[in-house]
Chain A
């Protein structure tokens, strides 16, 4: 199974909204309602921010939202804040009964 495809980097100014895409196939992103998104700050463990395509864990800001169209999932962060600067990874369940991550996207808050 190949890694899901994410843009290497995105950027935005405080207060703006950004969207990170995650493209897979019908055997992963498009085939199951099991897409997750993680935020990772340097030197820290990943943090789950979206699961099951568009659900937020308790305590995660409503500024984070997820969606999917066909084989592409998306993470949108609205009202960008300096603390949102981090690496973001998507993950999907696959037909191999395992998970696969995207390559990661570095978000820079200008």
Chain B
């Protein structure tokens, strides 16, 4: 059974750094892209970027280029999304999804809620 399990909810102060994770199982992790999607409270979905774990080829959506870093460690079947300095406007649910290069996500993680507040 294909599963993507994300790390737990986070409450972070503005200016702090954060790295959240997405662990894949039940399939060959290096054969599929992993995408990250943001959903701000009460708002729609936004593709942030995708990564191919086999060679770490990474593509960022223009709105997120330079704002976040997407990485992967294929030895532990895990992808990561990280921020160096969080802002209140980063408060959102973040989902990872197994996808192809065209950003069509067939399996999704349960989501990680990130709350940035002082």
Contacts and interface: CB of A to CB of B under 8 A. Distances in A.
How extensive is the interface on chain B, given as a class? 20 to 34
Most buried by B among A1, A57, A100, A102: A100
B55 interface: no
Interface string A87-109: 10101010011111111100000
B107 to A, nearest CB: 8
A96 B60 CA distance: 9
A97 B103 CA distance: 9
A91 B61 contact: no
Interface residues of A, number: 27
A93 B102 contact: yes
Contacts of A93: 101-104
Contacts of B61: 1, 96, 98-100
A93 to B, nearest CB: 4
Contact of B50 (A1, A51, A98, A102): A98
